[in-house]
Structure formats: C-alpha cells, structure tokens
Amino acid sequence: MSLAALGTALALGAYAVASTLGCAISVAGWRSLPLLVPTASPAVRSQLLFALRVLPPVLGAAVAGLLLLAFLLFEPRESVEPVGVPLLLLALLGGALLVTGARRAAHGARVSSRVARSWRARGRERALGARGETAVVFDWAFPVVSLFGWRRPHLFVERRLLEAFDADELDAVLRHESAHARGRDNLKRSVMRSCPDVLGATPLSRRLEKDWSEAAEAAADDAASAGGAGQRLALASAIVKLARMATPLPCPVPGSAAYDGAPVASRVSRLLDDGDAIAPLAAPSLALVSTPLALAVLWGLGQLRQIHELIERAVAFLG
C-alpha cells in the first residue's frame, strides 16, 4: 500500500475510534448534567448541551489530525506496510461517518432553502415592531414566526399573527427571535444535525437535540422578557395565542420558531412564575468547554514522535 493510502486509512480509522469514544463521553456528560449543574440557567445549559453534542466529531478530528501529522513527519518514505482487515474496516467506518454527516448537512440545507423560497413567494417584506425589523409577511396554514438561515438570518411572520397580536406581544415575539439570532441557534442546530458520528444514527442524538432546543427556547424567552413583568406577560400571551391558533403543522420548521406545535404550558408557567429570577441571555463562552481539548492537542503536538511509535504498534497489532 502506498504511503498516502496508509496515512489516509490511519486518519480515518483514528477518527472512527476517537469519535465513537467521544460519543460515549457525550452521552455520559449529557445524563450527568442535572447532577453536575442542577441550577444552570437555560442559556448555560444550551451551551453545554451543544458542546457535548459536537464533542465526538471534534475529538475525532483532533486525534486523526495528530496521528496524520506524526505519520507524515516520522514515517520513512520508503516504507510500504500492509493494511490489515481491522484497520481497513475502521477506515471504512470513518469514511462512512464523514460521508453520512455531509449528506445530512446537504439535506438540511436543501430543505431549509426550499421552505424559505416557498414562504418568500407567498408574501412580501415589511417593517414590523417598534424597532422596524424587516420580516417577510406571508400566508401559510400554520401561525408561525420563524428565523431562517445563520449567515444572514431572515425573519418570516405568518400574516394572521399581525391581526392577533397587540403591539407588545409582537415586540415580545420579535425580541425572542432576535435572541435566537444573537445566539446563532440556527447554525448550532444545523451543526448538531450533521455531526458525522455514530451517535447521529441513534435516537439518543434526537433526544439530546430536543433537550438543547428546549433550553435554547427558554434562553430566548429569558432574553425577550428581561425587561420586567410587562414583557414576560406579553410574551406569555403571545405564546398562548400562537398555540390556540395552531393547526397540524404542514411540515417541520427547519429554523428557529417562536412556536413549533410543542406543548407550551411549561414555557408559559415559567414566564409567569419566575418573576425577577429570569435573567437575560448570557452564557459562558464555549471556550470553557473547549479549553481542555485545546490543551490536550497542544500537549499532543509535543509528543508526535511517541505518537508515531504508537501508530507503528497499532498497525502491527491490526495487521
């Protein structure tokens, strides 16, 4: 086998092993969050859940990158080692994970673009609310307020809501969607759904994403109602109106939505009961979670020769 083929097989196999180990760590951390941070705010919880979900591919990429760098630096150029069946199978698994993740990302982008084009064709842009936010007001079967896209997010508002909401309720919903935009929640959702790892093929991934989505919605509620009791009441009233107007959802809403058909009792109760305990959208940087991994990579860069020795042993063992 050529040197390039062997290096590729090692990198893909390392990705498969490390990302799968990361999946186990991710699930364990997710299930431990209520014990580790029982009083975490929704903003903090959503950040931690996102970090746990993307940990497997990030860990896999870091390990694969270190192994490939060590291989390129220290592997003799005249070396042509055979690749055993176990290493080949691991490489195929790693490649399949990456391809599957890319396909999920492409599918999500196509669906989001198709729905956004359909909605835009049904309406026109208008300035809404006290701040004159630009939104596409359109006609649809479901009363939706949704933010599409992550590079330049576009706001869509179903026409009937402009008649149902009073000024305070409309402003509250617009603040809610602005909070999603500031938190880059659409980007995070897309990244989570396209993670190239074995967790993505299990129901656990969807449950973790659901937990993240609920935390992100609560964090956006907090941001939209940070101005006091009046804003909390306006947002709660708007959510109740959305739920009462709802019909069966024609198709899943790919972006962030003020209401997506899910039960609203807990959201409304929280807005009405928490009082001044509700805090603005604020969370520690993801650097808090990524710093240990970055330090581990830096340490690994100083151990490349030892890593190459491990590669030699691994290839011999798997051969």
Whether the Cβ atoms of residue 67 and residue 302 lie closer than 8 Å to each other: no
> How high is the mean pLDDT of the chain?
88
Q: Residue 76 pLDDT more than 70?
A: yes
**Mean pLDDT, rounded, for 19-35:** 95
CA distances, 104 to each of 32, 72, 175, 284 (Å): 28, 31, 30, 29
Chain segment 121-141, per-residue pLDDT in tens: 999 999 998 888 899 999 988
Q: Is the pLDDT of residue 283 over 70?
A: no
- Tell me the pLDDT band of 313, cut-offs 50, 70 and 90: confident
Residue whose entry in the numeric block shows the structure tokens 């909401």: 165
| Domain limits, the chain | 3-318
What does the pLDDT read at residue 217?
A: 92
Q: From the centroid of its chain, how far is CA 80?
A: 41
DSSP, residue by residue, the chain:
--HHHHHHHHHHHHHHHHHHHHHHHHHHHHHHHHHHSTT--HHHHHHHHHHHHHHHHHHHHHHHHHHHHHHHHHS-TT------HHHHHHHHHHHHHHHHHHHHHHHHHHHHHHHHHHHHHTEEEEEETTTTEEEEEE--SS--EEEE-SSS-EEEEETHHHHHS-HHHHHHHHHHHHHHHHTTHHHHHHHHHT--SGGGGSHHHHHHHHHHHHHHHHHHHHHHTTT-HHHHHHHHHHHHHHHHH----SS---SEES--SS--HHHHHHHHHSGGG---S----THHHHHHHHHHHHHHHTTHHHHHHHHHHHHHHH-
Cα dihedral 231, 245, 116, 266, rounded to 10, equals 50
Q: What does pTM read for this prediction?
A: 0.90
User: What is the average per-residue pLDDT within 240-247?
Assistant: 88
CA distance 68 to 8: 8
4 pLDDT higher than 50: yes
Question: What share of the chain has pLDDT > 90, as a percent?
Answer: 58
Rounded to whole angstroms, how far apart are CA atoms 105 and 192?
Answer: 9
Of residues 151 and 15, more confidence is placed in 15
